[in-house]
């Protein structure tokens, strides 16, 4: 590698070292892949981590961070979770004509990566790329229920913000709710964010890991408002999980149009 590479060139070299075949790298592997001295790679990685372009996983390896995804999401097209999910989300919207939301977890927050909403659907406080606390939302309850124990304990340690009189702010009760989410495979948020909205959410998996959550948010005054929608949300989440499995195996189908009705 050129010794007079610019600072920007070093950043790009580090990011370019990651690929579908190499999604996680150690600092030493990054230094070798970019031809940088270990001390230089360490400095560049530290800056990228601080900005959010890289994240360090539980295994100590570095991975592309959500901040970089937020920029990538501005591109017209891109493979991955959003593309796998959209056909199923569209089918779910056609059946319900309600808010359909796709989210991932970033530490102790929900990040919404896609949303479809009808003109007469109940208003929600979410937008694509937006963040929210985990406990009050259906998708957040799913993601928190399957988060590492350390993340759960930090969230349960609070403070837990009250958005409505129905928001769960008792850590003991929230712990019971998370156990029920793991047991049933779905989460219901009953007017926890606004007093007129109820949501039902289900996990999206890649292998054995819960990587995202899918929900439908409707106008309602009790969990009964989403009871009839639960099977469809489950089916859509399973379908997205299958698509992610095919993508990981390199067997993504040519026709991605089949959704929950298929």
Share of the chain above pLDDT 70, in %: 88
Residue 186, beta-bridge partner list: none
Determine the Cα–Cα distance for residues 238 and 205; give it in Å rounded to an integer: 8
Same domain, 91 and 215: yes
Same domain, 126 and 210: yes
Same domain, 138 and 225: yes
Same domain, 103 and 228: yes
Look at residues 71, 97, 114 and tell me which one is the last residue of a structural domain.
71
The total number of structural domains in the chain stands at: 2
Q: Can you give the CATH number for the domain in which 35 is found?
A: 1.10.10.10
Check whether 161 has a pLDDT greater than 60.
Answer: yes
- Whether 258 is in a domain gets the answer no
Check whether 47 has a pLDDT greater than 60.
Answer: yes
Local structure of 91: helix, strand or coil? helix
Determine the Cα–Cα distance for residues 24 and 36; give it in Å rounded to an integer: 18
Same domain, 55 and 105: no
Tell me what pLDDT residue 258 has.
36
- Intra-chain end-to-end CA distance of the chain, in Å: 51
- Whether 42 is in a domain gets the answer yes
User: Lowest-confidence range among 61-75, 89-103, 242-256?
Assistant: 242-256
Same domain, 90 and 24: no
Tokens 């769960």 sit on residue: 168
Give the domain range for residue 105: 76-248
- Whether 16 is in a domain gets the answer yes
Long-range contacts of 225-228 (CB under 8 A, 24+ apart): 225/198, 226/188, 226/198, 226/199, 226/200
For the record, the structure tokens of 35 come out as: 């031809």
pTM: 0.69
Q: For CA atoms 210, 216, 217, 220, give the dihedral sign.
A: negative
Check whether 180 has a pLDDT greater than 90.
Answer: yes
CB hemisphere CA count around 49 (13 angstroms): 14
Tell me what pLDDT residue 7 has.
83
- Whether 43 is in a domain gets the answer yes
Check whether 79 has a pLDDT greater than 50.
Answer: no
CB hemisphere CA count around 88 (13 angstroms): 27
């Amino acid at each position: 590698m050129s010794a007079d590479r610019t600072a920007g060139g070093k950043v790009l070299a580090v990011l370019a070292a990651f690929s579908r075949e190499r999604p996680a790298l150690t600092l030493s592997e990054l230094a070798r892949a970019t031809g940088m001295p270990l001390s230089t790679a360490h400095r560049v990685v530290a800056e990228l981590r601080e900005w959010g372009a890289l994240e360090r996983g539980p295994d100590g390896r570095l991975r592309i961070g959500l901040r970089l995804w937020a920029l990538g999401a501005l591109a017209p097209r891109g493979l991955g979770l959003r593309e796998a999910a959209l056909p199923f989300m569209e089918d779910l919207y056609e059946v319900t004509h309600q808010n359909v939301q796709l989210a991932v977890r970033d530490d102790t927050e929900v990040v919404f990566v896609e949303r479809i909403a009808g003109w007469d659907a109940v208003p929600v406080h979410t937008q694509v790329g937006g963040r929210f606390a985990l406990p009050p939302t259906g998708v957040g309850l799913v993601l928190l229920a399957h988060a590492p124990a350390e993340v759960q304990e930090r969230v349960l340690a609070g403070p837990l913000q009250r958005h409505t009189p129905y928001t769960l702010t008792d850590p003991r009760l929230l712990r019971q709710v998370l156990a029920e989410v793991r047991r049933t495979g779905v989460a219901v948020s009953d007017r926890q964010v606004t007093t007129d909205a109820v949501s039902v959410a289900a996990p999206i998996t890649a292998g054995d890991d819960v990587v995202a959550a899918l929900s439908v948010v409707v106008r309602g005054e009790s969990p009964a408002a989403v009871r009839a929608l639960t099977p469809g949300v489950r089916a859509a989440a399973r379908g997205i999980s299958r698509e992610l499995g095919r993508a990981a195996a390199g067997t993504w189908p040519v026709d991605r149009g089949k959704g929950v009705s298929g």
